Amino acid sequence: AQKVTQAQTEISVVEKEDVTLDCVYETRDTTYYLFWYKQPPSGELVFLIRRNSFDEQNEISGRYSWNFQKSTSSFNFTITASQVVDSAVYFCALSDQTGANNLFFGTGTRLTVIP
Amino acid sequence: GAVVSQHPSRVICKSGTSVKIECRSLDFQATTMFWYRQFPKKSLMLMATSNEGSKATYEQGVEKDKFLINHASLTLSTLTVTSAHPEDSSFYICSARGRYYGYTFGSGTRLTVV
């Protein structure tokens, strides 16, 4: 069965610090997708990234970067030079390739960036 | 890009009444819709999965008679919380999946039952 673990419940950093959010997953599927979503206080889920299990290249998008390590079943998310607007709950999620199944969410990491 | 509209964003209702939440895909056909529930400071828990034109599949522990899901068209799914009670107060969020798009989430509905 799929499982996503986000061991960090809450993290606080001072503005401009870098922060890494950890995500470890379990699946028996050979092909799957991994996602990161941001949930600001308003509640909506903001899509950040989708990664196919066959694509282990790290990705950078502005201040965001993702490190996918299939060998350790991890898909960590780093925010460089954090800003107050980054304060939110971040969810890592997993689905199988067919997409017929739902997304399995981790428990989320609440990030607070202190000005 | 794919957009999912969810209404209402907030609703307060009296105990014993029913509340309907709509989830509409605006620019794509949603072959599958998912309904999640999120308690304060908790993760999203899947309630049910619905495919257009067929009955919803409910997760274990979710009362199908209490949480009625209708997916009558490829662009609209509704969740009706029947005979709502204070313990049903929660954040409900839908997600739509089309043929070519990934998972697109609605903006969520905060339900408060008083």
- Residue B54 pLDDT > 90: no
The per-residue pLDDT for B72 is: 81
Q: Which residue has the higher pLDDT, A96 or B97?
A: B97
**Who among B43, B108, B110 is closest to A108 (CB)?**
B43
The residue among A39, A98, A97, A36 whose CA lies nearest residue A68 is A36
B2 confidence band (pLDDT: 50, 70, 90)? confident
Q: Which of B16, B36, B44 is closest to B96 using CA atoms?
A: B36
Contact call for A102 and B108, based on CB within 8 A: no
DSSP letter for A19, please: E
Q: Which of B53, B51, B37 is nearest to B90 (CA)?
A: B37
Distance to chain B for A17, nearest Cα, Å:
24
Q: Do A47 and B46 touch (CB under 8 A)?
A: no
What is the phi/psi pair of residue B85, to 5°?
-130, 160
Strand partners, B108: none
How many CB atoms are closer than 10 A to CB A55?
13
> B8: cis peptide before it, omega within 30°?
yes
Chain B (47-76) residues lying within 8 Å, Cβ to Cβ, of chain A: 49
Interval B91-113 mean pLDDT: 89
Asked if B22 and B76 count as a contact pair (C-beta separation under 8 A), the reply is yes
With contacts defined as CB-CB under 8 Å, which chain B residues touch A7?
none
B110, B18 Cβ separation under 8 angstroms: no
Query: Could you read off the pLDDT of A29-73 as tens digits, one per residue?
Result: 888 899 999 999 888 899 999 888 888 888 888 999 999 999 999
